[in-house]
A = this chain, B = another copy of it.
Amino acid sequence: MNFKGQHLLSVKDIPLDSIEYLFTISELMRPYATRKKMTRVLEGAVLGNMFFEASTRTRVSFGSAFNLLGGEVRETTGLSNSALAKGESLYDTAQVLSGYSDIIAMRHPSPHSVMEFAEGSRVPVINGGDGSNEHPTQALLDLFTIKNELARLNQNIQDLSLTLLGDLKHGRTVHSLCHLLSLYKNLKIQLVSPEALRLPDHYVDMLTNAGHQIEIGSDLEKGLSKANIIYQTRIQEERFSSEDQANRYKGYFRLNKNIYSQHCLPNAVIMHPLPRDSRNDANELDNDLNAEPGLAIFRQTDNGVLVRMALFACILGVEEQLKEYERGVIWQVGLIKPKY
C-alpha cells in the first residue's frame, strides 16, 4: 500500500511494510516536533480538521501536526454546528468540505460514518475516530510507541510481552491495536480484564491465528508480572448502557507506584490511550507514577504528533522534500528553570 493520494480509514488493510515505512518517516519528524529545526514543506496547504464530535486532544494533535509541516488548519467542533443537523447527507458534506481543503481529518460519533464521508470526498480523508468503530491513528501511534519504548530498552518487537489491561470489551483502541499486532507473529500477549469485559472472541482468534502466545485472565498481579509493556485502558463509560453498569468497574484495576514496584518487571513500560481518569473513585493510573521513567503515556501523545505528521506528509507525497524546506528554530524552546 502506498499512502500517496489515499484515504486512511482503517488499520485493517495496511500491510506491514507500509506501516514500517510510515514509522521511518515518523522518526524523520522528531527534530521538527521537538523544535531542533522546522520544515515548511506544506506551506500553502489547508487541512480541514472536521471534528463532528468533541475531542480536544486528538483535534489539536492533528492540527498541530499540520502546522508543524507549515500548513494551515480550518476546523469545526461538534455536531450541532453543522448542516448535518438539517438533514444533509455525509456525502454532500464531504463534497462541499473537500472543495475547501487539501486533506481532511474527520471524527464523527457514528460508526462507519467516516467511510461514508470519504465516498463523497474529493481529497484524502483520515479517520480521526468514528464512534465505537475505529481510530486508526491512535492504533498506529500505539504501535509506534511500543516499538520505540522497546528500542529504548534495547529490545525489539520480537521481545514484546504485552499486557492489555482493563476494559478490553469496549476499548476501540485495544481492538485496533489487535489488528496491527496480527501483522507480527509469536508475540506474548496477556489479556487481563474483569470477566464481563473480556476481549471479544473475534480478536482473541485473530491474535491466536497470527501465532501469538495468548494468556487470558482477571488476576492483575499475575498479568503484570511478565510484561515489558503494559497497556492500561479506561473504563469506556460512554459505551455502557447505564452509568451504574459502568461504575461497577470503575477503579477495578488500579495501577500505582506500590503495585508497580512489587509486581512489574524493572523498567516495565506503562502506556494508556488517555485521558486517564484521575478522580479518586477511578484513579486507574495513580499520579504517584508520574516520575517513573517507565510511564510512557506522554511520550505516547508526543508520538501521536510524529505519526500524524508522517501520515500527512506521505498522503500528500512530500515526505522526500522535508529537508528542502527546512529552517532553523530561532525561539526559546521549552522552559528555563527555575521558574521565577
Contact = CB atoms under 8 A, between A and B. Distances in A.
Interface of A: 1-2, 4-7, 13, 35, 38, 40-46, 48, 54-57, 59-61, 63-64, 67-68, 70, 72-74, 76-78, 80-83, 86-89, 91-93, 95-97, 99-102, 121-124, 234, 237, 274-279, 282, 287, 290, 297-298, 301-302, 305, 315-318, 321, 327, 329-336, 339-340
Nearest to A68: B46
Nearest to A119: B339
A277 B54 contact: no
A117 to B, nearest CB: 13
A88 B290 CA distance: 14
Nearest to A5: B336
27 contacts: A4-B336, A6-B339, A7-B339, A35-B102, A38-B44, A46-B64, A46-B68, A56-B81, A63-B74, A64-B101, A78-B81, A83-B275, A87-B278, A87-B279, A88-B278, A91-B278, A91-B287, A92-B274, A92-B276, A96-B274, A99-B298, A102-B331, A121-B335, A124-B335, A317-B331, A318-B332, A321-B330
Q: Is the interface of A mostly helix, strand, loop or mixed?
A: loop
Contact of A100 (B64, B81, B282): B64
Contacts of A327: 44
A150 B198 CA distance: 62
A5 B335 contact: yes
Contact of A6 (B82, B86, B101, B336): B336
Contact of A1 (B7, B81, B83, B340): B340
Number of identical monomers bound together in the oligomeric complex: 3
Contact of A96 (B43, B122, B301, B332): B301
B278 A92 contact: yes
B335 A6 contact: yes
Nearest to A299: B99
Given A124-B335, A331-B45, A76 B102 contact: no
Given A4-B336, A6-B336, A42 B317 contact: no
A316 B332 contact: yes
B305 A332 contact: no
A279 B46 CA distance: 31
Given A100-B305, A278-B88, A301-B96, A72 B67 contact: yes
Contacts of A78: 81
Contact of A76 (B44, B48, B56): B56
B13 A340 contact: yes
Contacts of A334: 5, 122-123
Nearest to A79: B56
A56 B84 CA distance: 10
Given A4-B336, A87-B276, 13 more contacts: A7-B335, A7-B339, A40-B44, A41-B330, A54-B82, A56-B97, A64-B74, A88-B274, A88-B277, A91-B278, A92-B278, A121-B335, A122-B335
A139 to B, nearest CB: 16
Contacts of A60: 48, 74, 76, 97, 100
Nearest to A301: B96
